[in-house]
Every structure is written in structure tokens, then in C-alpha cells.
Structure 1
Amino acid sequence: MTGGTPPPTRTAAGHDWFLKLLGGVYVLDGPAHRRIEPSLAAVLAYLALRGRTHKYRLAGWLWPDAGETAARANMRQLLRRVRLTLGPEFIQGAGEIELNPGVRVDLLEFQRQMEAGAVPDPRPSRVNCWNT
């Protein structure tokens, strides 16, 4: 991932999904490049970083002032838009939802590379400024 576009890996349905969280939220599916609306970006980022969770927990977080019925309806509509835009398999599950395991995430790939030592640590090294 250090040199640009990651190598493709296709899902069983033939998708090559890559979720970009760094530098704006986008979903790449092969040559298709889709910008993601803010509420959906929040859901995708949460699912990418935290994993499986109940959809109505996310609804309460996204629409805290909407009331339970409205927040649940908003979440159902959001998931419907995901299925229409990105495909029915992008987010899996009914009550508890998660990203399709075939979705690659730039932030997670970068984190794995950091942990493996493949990317230099960007933090400055400690300098003892008292011993000059």
C-alpha cells in the first residue's frame, strides 16, 4: 500500500472493494470511485474499526435527537442506500451488521504495515535536550 493503489482482491460476488478512510471517505470498487455521504462514512468507519455491531446502536449514535422510531427508520434507509449504491453484500447482517470480510480498509492495512515494521514510525525519536 505504500506505493499507491493496493493490489486487487475480489469477493465471491466479483467486487474489488477498498474503503479509504484516510484523506476523505471513498469506496473503490475496481475502477468505480464513490464518495460517501457523512452519515454513511461514520457507519463504515465504525464498522471497519470496531467490527460487528447492532444497527440500532449506530442509529442512536447517529441520530440521538430523532427519537427511537425515527432513528431506526433513518438507519434502515441508510442501509438501503448502501445496498443500492455499493451492492447488497457490502454490509452484511440484519440486526447485527458488519462489513463484508472482502472489504479492504486503507487505515487497517496501514496499521498492519506499521506493526510489521514495513513503514517507518512517523513519531520523532526522543532527543535528550539536556545533554548537549
Structure 2
Amino acid sequence: MAVTESPAVRGDAPPALRLRLLGGFHLSRGEGDGGQVDVSASGQQLLALLGLRGPATRSVLAGTLWPDVTEERARACLRTAIWRLNAASSAVDGPRPGVVALSRRVRMDIQDFTALAHHTLAAPAEGTGAACSSLMGMGELLPGWHQDWVVFERERLHQLRLHALEALSARLVVHGQYGPALEAALESTRIDPLRESAHRAVVTVHLAENNLAEAVRHFKAFRGLLRAELGIEPSEQFRTLVRRALA
């Protein structure tokens, strides 16, 4: 079955569909959350897989989404999912024979987040306030989905967000914006309580403000958490950071 895209949506027209995967699946027409499009479970998985992995052959899509049935049955399920999706929203396209992709009409929150995170890691001096707000408010990728390909992408985005938050905190400290710097660092510790680099970011903010007591208190709390959970000590790098501050 061919997958086609209307000529009306080609060119430089603005995206007509918004696909949200962070915090849960949501497909809507236009910007914001208005005009929600009802999508079947199989359609949701197809859109999410295409959004996260990019264009793929029909055989790859069928085998990934329906691994426990015959190839013939899996391909039939894929054809049905594509037909239902395009009947409701024209969300998928066929850029070349045998390949399926998201339509250019679709704009994803993953695209916006990834661009923001990489922009933050590139160390620009501007836009730190907007970056902090966006990174702080990001939800988890497709919570409740347990497919292997979702788990992998969830961890990839999780790590990207943590690195971006820590880089943002360090940049805000350089600019003397200690409040949002601390927020970004604490958000990292909330996301991953055992991540040492996140706790070092918190202590670094406290030290930059000359809040030595707060820095030591946070270090000791983290050390106690590591001992209780993993039976290990903070790194020598972290311990040296605190010792030098108290010298």
C-alpha cells in the first residue's frame, strides 16, 4: 500500500501536526494541545518509533513492532496502522519505495528538546533563562512504555538532559546567577540521586556563594546516601573540592 503526502503540505508550510512524546503520547493539530488526534495503540507505537529512530523500511518496522507474529501478519498489521493513521491525520509519508517516515507536517517535542540540549552544551552565553525553564519542565519519555527501543531512547534522552542541566548550572555560576544555577543542579540530583557530578554541581554553586556550611552539609548527605545505597565513598575529586574550600 503506497503512503502518500498531499502536495498542499510540501514546501515551507508550517507544521500542521504536533507530536509529544515527553510526559506521554499526544498528537494534536496545530500548536499547543488543542485539536487532539485519536490514535490507536499500534499507531502510537509506529509514530513514536519513527519519531525516535527516523525513517525505516517496512520490514524493520513490522519486525520491531510485532516481533511475536509471523512476518506476513506483522506486515499486515503495519499496513493497517499506516492506513488508520493517514485516514485520521496524514502523519506518515513514503519518501522512497519500501520506506516509511514521519510526514514533514509533524513537529516533535523531541526535536525541540534535543536542539535545546545541544545548544546548551555548545556553551552559548545567551538564552540561559529559557534553557533552564525548558530543561526543568521536561517530562520522561513515554512513561509506562517498556519496549526495548523505548527504554534505550529514554536512557539516551535522560543522559542528554542531565549533561545539559549540569552544563547550564556551571554557566549560570560563571554569570553570577546562583539561584537558577542551584535549581538546575538540584534538578539533576532529583532526576538521578546517585549521580556524583550532579551533586558536585550543587556544592559548586554553594561554594561560589561562599555558603560553606551548605556545601559541607550537602556533601555529607550525598556521602551518606552513597554509603547506604552502594557501600562506596565519593570520588577523590569530590572530596578534594570540599577540603580545599575548607582549607
TM-score, with normalisation over the residues of structure 1? 0.77
- Amino acid in the other structure paired with 1:64: P
After superposition, the Cα gap between the structure-2 partners of 1:23 and 1:35, relative to the gap in structure 1 and judged at 3 Å, is: farther
CA contact (8 A) 2:92 2:101 kept: yes
Q: Alpha-carbon deviations, 1:67-126, whole Å to 9, x = none?
A: 011111111111110111112xx2111510111123110122111112212523153434
> C-alpha distance in 2, partners of 1:38/1:29?
19
Q: Which contiguous aligned blocks of 4+ residues in structure 1 show a shift greater than 3 angstroms?
A: 10-15
Q: Does 1:106 align with 2:171?
A: no
RMSD over aligned Cα atoms: 2.4
Give 3-state SS (helix, strand or coil) of 2:37's partner: strand
CA distance 1:81–1:14, change in 2 (3 Å): farther
Larger RCO, structure (CA 8 Å, separation 6 or more):
1
Q: Which moved more, 1:122-131 or 1:106-115?
A: 122-131
Question: Matched residue of 1:34: which SS?
Answer: coil
Give yes or no for contact 2:21–2:110 (8 Å, CA) kept in 1. Answer: yes
Secondary structure of 1:78's partner? helix
Q: TM-score, normalised by structure 2?
A: 0.44
Partner of 2:188: 123
What do residues 29-53 of structure 1 show as CA deviations (whole Å, max 9, x unaligned)? 1342124333222211121122110
- 2:60 is aligned, of 57, 61, 71, to 57
Identity of aligned residues (%): 28
In our comparison, the structure showing a higher alpha carbon Rg is: 2
Aligned to 1:45: 48
The amino acid of 1:92's aligned partner reads D
Structure 1 residue ranges without an equivalent (≥5) = 1-9
Q: CA contact under 8 A between 1:25 and 1:36: conserved in structure 2?
A: no
| Matches of 2:105 and 2:15, distance apart in 1 | 8
Q: Which residue of 2 aligns with 1:97?
A: 100
More strand by share: 1
Report the Cα distance in structure 2 between the residues aligned to 1:98 and 1:16, rounded to whole angstroms. 16
Q: Quick one: distance in 2 between partners of 1:28 and 1:73?
A: 26
Separation of aligned partners in 2, 1:101 and 1:61: 23
Q: Is the 8 A contact 1:25 1:35 kept in 2?
A: no
**Pairs aligned (count):** 121
Aligned pairs (5 A) from 1:65-104: 65-87=68-90, 90-93=91-94, 94-104=97-107
Decide which structure has greater helix share: 2
Q: Which runs of 5+ in 2 are unaligned?
A: 1-7, 121-126, 133-164, 166-186, 190-197, 204-218, 220-238
How far 1:14 moved relative to its partner? 7.7
